[in-house]
Structure 1
Amino acid sequence: MKIKHISADSHWQERLEKTGFGYHTDGDQTYWVENYYYSISPALADEIAEATNTLWNMCLKAVDHVISNRLYHHFHIPIFMHEHIEQGWENDAPSIYGRFDFAYDDIKKQLKVLEFNADTPTSLFETGVIQWHWMQHYFGKKADQFNSVHDRLIATWKELKPYLKGHTLHFTCLRETLEDLTNLEYLRDCAIQAGIKTKLIYLDDLGWNGLNFVDLEEETITDIFKLYPWEWMTQEAFALHIPNDVDQANWIEPSWKMILSNKAILAILWELFPNHPLLLETYIDEPKNLVNYVKKPLLSREGANVTLYINGKIIEATPGDYGEEGYICQELASLHKEHSGYSIIGSWIIGQEACGITFRESDRMITTDKSRFVPHIIE
């Protein structure tokens, strides 16, 4: 994998906005990279796909282990959600997607999983649509990517359609969140293409009639996709109604994803699969024998409150509002570095199948909300 440069169009921002991509820049910083890309080999693409599928199967075994042994205390999951999680797991509650973030060690030629964005992963629209259009715009239809995200989303919604409890699939997120709304509407569009009737409702418009959740038209919500983290949901005023819903609406992603979206799962994976080549040595609350490691809050997002230690000393740290929920300590990974920055690989699993990748690039070793999205081509 290596960076290659191209000459960007002078009006590329306008082109992106016509496709519905309105957050390509953040103030004076560029989020979307137009003028260079990662060139990767077919062998690396195959390696990422295989690693993603392998890790997904390992994660399912880890969830079963956590539920069977009721290890919820490691994840700080509220007691009132435990039974809901177990019922969803036992009943195969529908799940759509997730994104593994990998480091690539150039010396050892080895992928290492950093974390799993299992509940509300974003950058889906950039991956499935924007970087595909970018490739066709500059390189034509003969170029190729590791990217079947769009087709897999439609196919997966078709597969899940028979498991929906009602006739309408609601989609929800917070108001005035351009990135979330763009990703949500993309997912909804794919569901529509799969033949599913949908309806958009903002989170603060959810109602409760004493028996069920309802929308603004008093229609019972039987199935709902939420782009809103479960750990935030459980703090909402309506959260106690979720396990008391008479018809037990399908929440997508299901509540058992709270286990996989929590960084404690990385320690569970290490316990279940010690020294697995895809894993980094990880422990809950303490570094144990680790000297070079990363301390991450269990629920941290976008690199907040992450601290890097080398030889036991802090070399880099980020601010934020996380940490009270506890931490993991994870072996420090070797990141791929180019002249433009450090990169990690995001690998999507949709409907149980690896189907596409992203590259996120940062000026520092910790990936944050200021990190850039870099498209890729298989060459």
Structure 2
Amino acid sequence: MRRIAYGPVRDGWRLTNFSLGLTYNDTELPDGTMQSYWQEGPYYDFTAAEIEELETATSVLYEMCIEAGEWMVKQCPRRTVEGRKRGYFASICTPETCFLAKIGVPEYTHEQIIRTWYDGDPETWTHYDKDPDMRLPMQTPDFSPTVYGRFDLWYNGAGSGPKLLEFNAQTPTSLVEAAVVQWHWMDQTALTDHPWRQWNSIHERLVGWEAVPGEPGDPGAWRRNINKLREARTWLPEKPKIFFAYETSETSGEDRMNVAYLMATAEEAGYPVELIAMSQIGWDVAGDRVLFVPSPGQEHLAEPIDVIFMLYPWEWFWHEEGGKAFFRNMADPEKRGTVWIEPPYKAALLGNKALLPVLWMLFGDDPERGKYLLPSYFAESSAAAKLTSYAKKPVWGREGGSVTLVRDGVPITGQPSEYGADGRYIVQELRELPSFESLEGTVHPVIGSWLIDGEPAGMGIREGVGTEGLVTTNTCNFLPHVIEGKN
């Protein structure tokens, strides 16, 4: 793993990147100056062995996350038939009896979190029948698709061993630059002749590829997931329309373009699609349906939503007015409730920092799997009090907000934000990001390792500058990479 400081600078690279979807390149820093998010010139060079190490770590980490999610689900009283008989809005989950309640997930969401969790594998449909304790209140088996996710990893080259910093399981961005922009950069700069060239099969894994002699084809994540969904929901047409929703209050355009890219891959996979704003998602009280409402006053043009991808945090959604109606709508597949991608369990079980102490509790002593983890604990625990160098992170937080790094008992950097107001924090043993020298100063890269349909799919690299850059925030840069570049 080498940082090449002086790579080629392409003529017209800004316009090229813009045409590929990177419309949010210029970032305004706190002092008012503008900075290019994409760094043209510097790049990272990896060996094939390093890529294999990262790919293996990504696979093993995802397997551990699934086991950790299973552990969390089993801590909820609503997992059992008896628990559900108490009623949808009865209060039976407390922080003492339920892990989800402990980390602040509203109780009314628990049943659908559990249901969508067990819908994820057709084999569990049989499991419901064999184990009455796990049977959920539904008449037919269902399926809750998950398309993507991203691990943020500490890594410093071959032999250093990747370490999990966190899992962006529900709403990861930087997809356009990882899947498309850096791929075109690699083609245009021709910096490597290695057969792999770049660890980047994100696009192909989303849309699929045709079989060639001697190699199998792949239908891709969209076709594979929608086909499974249609097996469970037989009333869906062969090509159900997929809505893609983003939050318009995010003014840089990053959310819109990430959603638009995913929408383009679904369209390439053969599905009708429509890009909408979160504010255009409505509710039909009489019909108990989720609707697309083009604009206020056009309710007569509203269209039922069967399948929707939403780039919006579930932990915001379930605290908003109307959230309970949307969760009730999910409850029974026979009522043709809306299918949400990513499903609620991605936020409640995997997409928050509480996952980290659960992983450490389950696998910290495992020599083969625990090597990819850092010791992590809930902040109020006695084990946390023994750490003198650590990262303190809010359970529900994004883009480095409210993360504080402490070295030998002394805070070295922090990112104040609104996150963590509920007082729920975890601490993770400090592993400072690697350091490389650049014209801007000392820079610190973090590896974003992408999963498509649960499989390792590629990498994007974010880089911060100086001590503040030890925490990756929305002002950090993106750098491309190659495999075994030309000397």
TM-score (norm 2): 0.75
SS at match of 1:291: coil
Q: Map 1:1-379 onto structure 2 (within 5 A).
A: 1-4=1-4, 5-27=6-28, 28-70=34-76, 71-92=99-120, 93-105=144-156, 109-139=160-190, 142=193, 144-154=197-207, 155-162=220-227, 163-164=229-230, 165=233, 166=236, 167-175=240-248, 177=250, 178-210=253-285, 211-216=288-293, 217-245=301-329, 246-258=335-347, 259-275=349-365, 276-286=370-380, 287-325=384-422, 326-340=424-438, 341-363=443-465, 364-379=469-484
Aligned residues: 379
Query: In 2, are the aligned partners of 1:106 and 1:336 still within 8 Å (CA)?
Result: no
**In 1, Cα distance between the equivalents of 2:461 and 2:55?**
14
In 2, Cα distance between equivalents of 1:10 and 1:247 = 52
Cα contact 2:192–2:482 (8 A) shared by 1: no
CA RMSD in angstroms comes to 1.6
Aligned residues of 1:112 and 1:280 also touching (Cα < 8 A): yes
1:141 and 1:242 map into 2 onto residues whose CA distance is 49
Question: What is the CA-CA distance between 1:141 and the residue it aligns to?
Answer: 8.2
> Offset at 1:170?
1.0
Equivalent AA in structure 2 for residue 38 of structure 1: Y
- Secondary structure at the aligned position of 1:336 is classed as coil
Runs of 4+ that moved beyond 6 A: none
- Write the deviation string for residues 157-202 of structure 1: whole angstroms up to 9, x where unpaired: 0101211553211110112531011010110111111111212221
* SS class of match (2:435): strand
Letter in structure 2 aligned against 1:159: R
Counterpart of 1:175, as a letter, is T
Q: Give the percent of matched residue pairs that are identical in Structure 1 and Structure 2.
A: 36
| SS in structure 1 of the partner of residue 450 of structure 2 | strand
Letter in 1 for 2:172: P
**Contact 2:8/2:189 (<8 A) preserved:** no
Q: Is the 8 A contact 1:306 1:317 kept in 2?
A: yes
Amino acid at match of 1:329: V
Distance 1:106 1:308 in 2: 23
The alignment partner of 1:170 has SS state of: strand
Kept in 2: contact 1:169–1:225 (CA 8 A): yes
Instruction: Name the counterpart of 2:85.
Output: none
Distance 2:457 2:103 in 1: 29
- Give 3-state SS (helix, strand or coil) of 2:392's partner: strand
Q: In 2, Cα distance between the equivalents of 1:183 and 1:72?
A: 29
- Measure how far apart 1:244 and its partner are: 1.6
Q: What TM-score does the superposition give when structure 1 sets the normalisation length?
A: 0.96
| Contact 1:161–1:196 (8 Å) recurs in 2 | no
- Between 1:300-309 and 1:158-167, the stretch displaced more is 158-167
**Residue deviations 1:125-145, cap 9 Å, x none?**
110000000110111784510
CA contact (8 A) 1:105 1:334 kept: no
Higher relative contact order (CA 8 A, sep 6+): 1
Q: CA deviation at 1:67?
A: 0.5
CA shift at 1:8, angstroms?
Answer: 0.9
Amino acid at match of 1:253: E
Deviation larger for 286-295 or 343-352:
286-295
Query: Aligned partners of 1:152 and 1:10: how far apart in 2?
Result: 30
Deviation of 1:106 after TM superposition, in Å, equals 5.7
| Secondary structure of 1:101's aligned partner | strand
Query: Per-residue CA shift, 1:37-63, capped at 9, x if unaligned?
Result: 000110110111110010101101111
From the superposition, tell whether residues 44 and 208 of structure 1 become closer, same or farther in structure 2 (CA, over 3 Å): same
| Bigger Rg, which one | 2
Aligned to 2:215: none
Q: Is the 8 A contact 2:221 2:453 kept in 1?
A: yes
How far apart are the structure 2 equivalents of 1:141 and 1:175? 39
- Superposed displacement of residue 74, structure 1: 3.2
Residue 80 of structure 2 corresponds to which residue in structure 1?
Answer: none
Tell me: CA distance 1:361–1:140, structure 2 relative to 1, closer, same or farther (3 Å): closer
Any stretches of 5+ residues in structure 1 without a counterpart?
none
Write the deviation string for residues 190-220 of structure 1: whole angstroms up to 9, x where unpaired. 1111111212221111111120101123221
Q: Is the 8 A contact 1:105 1:333 kept in 2?
A: no
1:300: Cα distance to partner? 1.3
Aligned counterparts of 1:262 and 1:176: Cα–Cα separation in 2: 23
Please tell me the residue identity of whatever aligns with 1:304.
Answer: G
Deviation at 1:34, TM superposition (A): 1.1
Residue 225 of structure 1 and its aligned partner are, at CA, apart by: 0.4
| Matches of 2:43 and 2:161, distance apart in 1 | 21
8 A Cα contact 2:244 2:263, kept in partner: yes
Aligned equivalents of 1:107, 1:247: Cα separation in 2:
50
